[in-house]
A and B are shown apart, each in its own frame.
Chain A
Amino acid sequence: MDFTTPSGQNPIDRLKIVGRPVTRIDGPLKVTGTAPYAYERHDVIPNQAYGYVVGATIAKGRIVRIDTGAAKAASGVIGVITTLEYKPAAPPQRQTANLFGGAEVAHYHQAVALVVAKTFEEARAAAHLVKVDYQAAPGKYDLAGEASGAKPSADPNEGQDAEIFDRVGDFDAAFAAAPVKLDETYTTPCETHAMMEPHASIAAWNGDKLTVWTSSQMINWAKAGLAKTLGIPAENVRVQSPFIGGGFGGKLYLRADALLAALGAKAVGQPVKVTLQRPLIINNGTHRSATIQRIRLGAAPDGRLTTIGHVSVSGNLPGGMPEPAVGQTKLLYAAPNREIYLKLAALDLGEANDMRAPGEAPGLMALEMAMDEMAEKLGIDPVEFRILNDTQTDPRDPQRRFSERHLVECLRTGADRFGWSRRNGTPGAIRDGKWIVGMGMAAGLRLNLLMPSAARIRLDRDGRLTVETDMTDIGTGAYTILAQTAAEMMGVPVEAVTVILGDSASPVSAGSGGQWGANTSTSGLYAACLKLRGAVSARLGLNAEDAEFADGKVRSGNRSIPLAEAAKDGPLTGEDGIRFGDLDKRYVQASFAAQFAEVGVDSFTGEVRVRRMLAVVDAGRVLNPVTARSQVIGAMTMGVGAALMEALAIDMRHGCFVNHDLGGYEVPVHADIPHQDVIFLDHPDAISSPMKAKGIGEIGLCGVAAAVANAVYNATGVRVRDYPITLEKHLAKLPRIA
């Protein structure tokens, strides 16, 4: 179906099942270890050999030769393939780095060989015997050093042809004239997804047909990517990912595990399974680029912003895209004079690409700290300052309204529920034993992106429904909300629905990315359900227009027939998808959040520990409050990491991320995370989709780190503009110990 006008009343609005706190239908599998992840598919194909990846030990240069003699002679080795035996793989769409093939090394730990052996132990040992000679070349690894030469670059969210500069009014004159102003630079570091399941794939060939069991957020992108890199028709590729152990953007794209498993399986003539060993993932895969962001705010003494300037520099491999860290600044606050744009520097670190809330996450780390600073300069409460500068229209185009925007309600509700009135605006005023206690808040905005999504639903003789779509559940709850959608549309309990995900043989979905998955995949299923309802009505001789599907029955006029009756002569299928028109052009569609945090800073050591957190989220209709809440608390946890500990440390001599494992790259543990509260506002968005939902998976991260950072400032009085806020950045400036 084409979705071109705002949705009216529809069967979802009954909210008998959608919107209810249904526990995950895949929960019993996950808690018992019986949900199968990519590397665990012993059942799918016999005779799987083990591949182990060899990564480049230099960051830039050429491979002179590779000696595989010792590796091939080692116990258990079936075969070794090297990058020199293949032409460089053409990067799939939206990707930059060459995954394998050719002599050029473009980044550290780029895959240069795969050793295939009978056992994992033999493959790992033999991988250490592959000898590679390199001709190293100097590279560029320091974003700060390259920033002055960075080039203005279009926002990838707006397309390559989009206007680079968002300029409204006369920024320079207005900023110069602003009675109160701020001009500060904020930095965010490179970050890594650190999902718990490493990239993993099993590949098997049957003639020229390839099947890959992998861990991918986007089945169709994996399929297309494999076809392109292998130079085979897409219809010859089958990809399956029923369970994915986290992704956060790191598994949006084809990675070396899948490509090398396929190449290795071809070379040795048997199925091959490959996981990227954890210490390889960070440099071999993609990461979120560091940013250097200059923000200039000007305001009238009453607190109304007159100017907003935001320029963000990020880095990537030549040909890559920038981290779109200014997107939210274009939309979050009103101000008549604006200058906002991105710059991109070429670096020779690994590929920078999407990580959860790409752009908004680091962008809000800067913008919302600047807003906190500006509120203090103006002597206005930070919550009130944001409310004062709210906008209901696109600041670039006053005719373009937001579909639904309830940021002010988020802010007011949050302030009330968090006890914001107890905050003391003077830093360092609140003590609790050795702890200095501070409160902080931030606003968040994340675009509601829309992607076409298709599904198929089948009604069987026994009345059961089976949903098939190549949608993935990366922990988001997709299995459950799709079951709820089918159950609501067809008038059956959730238990009557089977959901089959992550198979490229199924209709192509939106996949899991950009927080579009829940809204668009359920909308695609909604369209398929309408088709099935039509087929059921026709089979039963009912009027599809007024047929009501409820309680396992179909009612029309004075007739009421069990749904299963429709399939008594054979299954009925409905297949369709949702295709979005231009409602996202005519309206700004976005989710909103207000984030609140209270921290304690150890007055002796400077350690920061989070004490309380609250998010108030405006994301349209909440399809399932259980899984939606989990998305938000998980994002809040990631935000604590971004604020306080997460940073890839770059060795500027060797061009590598030094802390390339889960020991060196610290993410929050249980002890770091207090109880978290989440409040969802109830504002269904009929302009977004027939489900009236919007994205939740990323808005939960937007503003979190700034809220924590602002709380740290409120505790210490030391403004650290360089994330993460580790203790040495404020230790020397903390109050003297009595």
Chain B
Amino acid sequence: MIPFTYEKADSPAAAVAAVTATPGAKFIAGGTNLLDLMKFQIETPTHLVDIRDLPLTTINDTGDGGLRIGALVTNTELASHPRVKRDYGVLSRAIVAGATGQIRNKASVGGNLLQRNRCPYFYNTDLPCNKRVPGSGCSALGGISRSLAVIGTSESCIAQNPGDMAVALTVLDAMVETIDAAGRTRTIAIADFFRLPGDTPETEFALQPGELITSVTLPPPLGGTHHYHKVRDRASYAFAIVSVAAVLNKDGTGRVAFGSVAPKPWRIKAAEAVLPAGPAAVVSTAFKEAKPREDNAFKILLAERTLALVIAKGSA
């Protein structure tokens, strides 16, 4: 961890101004991912702007039946909120499938969206990684890649987005609200928030430098039955091998997104449209362009079988 200076901001405008004013500055909220990466010098901020005093800690009705979730709401608070449990069960279930009680108590909604990938080579500063050092090469290609992405990858990066919450937000069509260095606010659809690696795997999110997530909004409830199923080697405290977030209707239609299979939560509308035809149809559509590695090709079959499980539960 390189030396840094530290300050607390008291408003979103002050926070973005502070980060913009200092080269190498970063926001910090829960810090559960950032500090981990700073210890390895994968992240090397020279200045930290602590945003936890910002008034972004509440969950409010939006007026149209949806919810606005402050970026600083903790994962635990969000999963425990009565309206989230009642109307957005997929979100509550996705959150509690992730990490541990301790980490969820600290991690914020905004920070969760911004968690970096978990490719083992990204974490090993002895070896090249295009995300860490652009142009240095991808060690995962030809390496250990069982946990990594099977689709949406490029020759420069095959890391997966490991999140749980983001997969649920993706099926819910959440919107990410931000404020930028000039004080302008904007709204980014969750589908556009995560970037595929292409030639620039170091840029994982659709945020500009100094731009701050202020809230996440959920559209009015979808109804249906809500499911989040996470598959992993051990029963808890592990990243997904594959996860499925789904909201299913009685008529067999619904929404579905897959986690830990791609550099972003993987939701393909054309695949969703064939939900009534069953899991094989959905997966063959969603993963048509897949380029798995030898050691993670099983994820496609696993995605199909996990979706089958979710559909079986939904129709039970």
Which residues from chain A sit less than 8 Å from chain B, CB to CB?
A: 57, 75, 121, 124-125, 128, 279, 434, 602, 604-607, 609, 644-645, 649-651, 653-654, 656, 658-660, 663-664, 666-672, 726-728, 731-732, 737
Q: Which of A434, A644, A659, A670 sits near B309, CB closer than 8 Å? A: A434
CB–CB A666/B142 < 8 A: no
Chain A nearest CB, measured from B104 CB (Å): 15
A57, A604, A649, A660 interface centre (most CB from chain B within 10 Å)? A604
- What's the Cα separation between A658 and B146 when bound, in Å? 12
Q: Per-position contact with A for B291-316: 1 when CB-CB < 8 Å, else 0?
A: 00000001001100110110010000
Q: Which of B39, B120, B232, B298 sits near A659, CB closer than 8 Å? A: B120
Which residues of chain A come closer than 8 Å to B185, judged between CB atoms? none
Q: Tell me, yes or no, whether B189 is within 8 Å of chain A by CB.
A: no
Beyond A658-B124, A668-B234, A737-B312, 10 extra complex contacts between A and B, CB < 8 Å = A57-B126, A125-B3, A434-B312, A606-B302, A651-B143, A654-B127, A663-B118, A671-B236, A671-B237, A726-B233
- What's the Cα separation between A609 and B231 when bound, in Å? 12
Q: Tell me, yes or no, whether B1 is within 8 Å of chain A by CB.
A: yes
CB–CB A728/B120 < 8 A: no
- What's the Cα separation between A205 and B234 when bound, in Å? 46
- What's the Cα separation between A649 and B121 when bound, in Å? 12
- What's the Cα separation between A668 and B309 when bound, in Å? 24
Q: Tell me, yes or no, whether B58 is within 8 Å of chain A by CB.
A: no
How big is chain B's contact interface, by range? Answer: 35 or more
Which residues of chain B come closer than 8 Å to A279, judged between CB atoms? 40, 123
- What's the Cα separation between A671 and B230 when bound, in Å? 14
Q: Tell me, yes or no, whether B166 is within 8 Å of chain A by CB.
A: no
Which residues of chain B come closer than 8 Å to A607, judged between CB atoms? 231-233
Q: Tell me, yes or no, whether B290 is within 8 Å of chain A by CB.
A: no
Which residues of chain A come closer than 8 Å to B41, judged between CB atoms? 128
Interface set, chain B 268-306, CB cutoff 8 A to A:
298, 301-302, 305-306
Chain B nearest CB, measured from A108 CB (Å): 8
Q: Tell me, yes or no, whether B207 is within 8 Å of chain A by CB.
A: no
Q: A124-B39, A727-B302 are in contact. Are A604 and B309 (CB under 8 A)?
A: yes
Q: A121-B1, A605-B306 are in contact. Are A666 and B233 (CB under 8 A)?
A: yes
Q: A125-B1, A731-B298 are in contact. Are A649 and B144 (CB under 8 A)?
A: yes
Q: A125-B1, A651-B144, A731-B301 are in contact. Are A672 and B234 (CB under 8 A)?
A: yes
Q: Give the 9 A-B residue pairs with the shortest CB-CB distance, closest first.
A: A671-B235, A604-B309, A728-B298, A57-B126, A671-B236, A649-B144, A658-B144, A645-B233, A604-B305
CB–CB A671/B144 < 8 A: no
Q: Tell me, yes or no, whether B167 is within 8 Å of chain A by CB.
A: no
Name the residue on B nearest A732 (C-beta). B301
CB–CB B234/A669 < 8 A: yes
CB–CB A605/B120 < 8 A: no
Which residues of chain B come closer than 8 Å to A667, judged between CB atoms? 234
Which residues of chain A come closer than 8 Å to B309, judged between CB atoms? 434, 602, 604-605
CB–CB B233/A669 < 8 A: no
Q: A125-B1, A653-B143 are in contact. Are A664 and B235 (CB under 8 A)?
A: no
7 contacts between A and B (CB under 8 A): A128-B41, A644-B234, A645-B233, A666-B233, A666-B234, A669-B236, A728-B298
- What's the Cα separation between A428 and B3 when bound, in Å? 58
CB–CB B301/A727 < 8 A: no
CB–CB B231/A605 < 8 A: yes
Which residues from chain B sit less than 8 Å from chain A, CB to CB?
A: 1-3, 39-41, 118, 120-121, 123-124, 126-127, 139, 142-144, 146, 229, 231-238, 241, 298, 301-302, 305-306, 308-309, 312
B121, B143, B233, B237 interface centre (most CB from chain A within 10 Å)? B233
Which residues of chain A come closer than 8 Å to B39, judged between CB atoms? 124
Q: Which of B1, B232, B306 sits near A124, CB closer than 8 Å? A: B1
Q: A57-B126, A124-B1, A728-B298 are in contact. Are A658 and B120 (CB under 8 A)?
A: yes
Which residues of chain B come closer than 8 Å to A727, judged between CB atoms? 231, 233, 241, 298, 302
Which residues of chain B come closer than 8 Å to A604, judged between CB atoms? 305-306, 308-309, 312
Q: Which of B118, B231, B234 sits near A671, CB closer than 8 Å? A: B234
CB–CB B233/A644 < 8 A: yes
Chain B nearest CB, measured from A275 CB (Å): 14
- What's the Cα separation between A651 and B145 when bound, in Å? 10
- What's the Cα separation between A594 and B266 when bound, in Å? 47
Chain A nearest CB, measured from B246 CB (Å): 14
Which residues of chain A come closer than 8 Å to B305, judged between CB atoms? 604-606, 731, 737
Which residues of chain A come closer than 8 Å to B301, judged between CB atoms? 731-732
Which residues of chain A come closer than 8 Å to B298, judged between CB atoms? 727-728, 731-732
Which residues of chain A come closer than 8 Å to B120, judged between CB atoms? 649, 658-659, 664
Chain A nearest CB, measured from B295 CB (Å): 8
- What's the Cα separation between A609 and B124 when bound, in Å? 31
Name the residue on B nearest A610 (C-beta). B235
Q: Which of A75, A121, A605, A666 sits near B238, CB closer than 8 Å? A: A666
- What's the Cα separation between A125 and B3 when bound, in Å? 8
Which residues of chain A come closer than 8 Å to B236, judged between CB atoms? 669-672
Chain A nearest CB, measured from B28 CB (Å): 16
- What's the Cα separation between A727 and B302 when bound, in Å? 9
Name the residue on B nearest A725 (C-beta). B233
CB–CB B231/A658 < 8 A: no
- What's the Cα separation between A125 and B44 when bound, in Å? 11
CB–CB A731/B144 < 8 A: no
Which residues of chain B come closer than 8 Å to A732, judged between CB atoms? 298, 301
- What's the Cα separation between A121 and B41 when bound, in Å? 12
Which residues of chain B come closer than 8 Å to A644, judged between CB atoms? 233-234
Chain A nearest CB, measured from B143 CB (Å): 5
- What's the Cα separation between A58 and B39 when bound, in Å? 21
Chain A nearest CB, measured from B277 CB (Å): 15
Q: Which of A658, A664, A668, A726 sits near B143, CB closer than 8 Å? A: A658
